[in-house]
Amino acid sequence: MSADSANTPPPVDSYEEPPDHGSTLMNAAAGGGAGIVLSFIPGSPLLGGAIAGYLEGGDLTDGFWVGLFAGLIMLVPITFFGMLALIFFLGAPGVIATVLILAVLLGVFYIVGCSIFGAIVGVYLKNEL
């Protein structure tokens, strides 16, 4: 009887390991924390997202999700302290409500958008370097 190699599976060590999505939240927390610590620098959500994306690796879809999570982590404290600063400097109740709504909307687009873009760039850099 001859050995037929067409019906034998490849050795176990040649299979690719599935990506570990349990660490996605940890990578997002690391990137979000870095973005919060660096919040005095313009573009800190971009840097935090890039850190999260570089730690995550994988494909661009993984970068999108880890950037989204990192941006949401950064959004809460940065928006909170931004609102406190606006209340302190403006002081008028009618103006405060309008400005706060605009600040939150712009904050969401700026922080989450830059974080997603940074994470995609971070994943791309990890894959190319």
Axis-axis angle for helices 24-37, 44-56 (nearest 10): 150
What number is the average pLDDT over the span 5-22? Answer: 63
The DSSP letter of residue 23 is G
What pTM did the predictor assign? 0.72
Q: What percent of the chain has pLDDT over 70?
A: 80
pLDDT for position 21: 55
The domain locations on the chain are 23-128
Residue 48 has pLDDT above 70, yes or no: yes
Q: Which residue has the tokens 């370097």?
A: 129
pLDDT single digits (tens) 49-68: 999 999 888 888 888 999 99
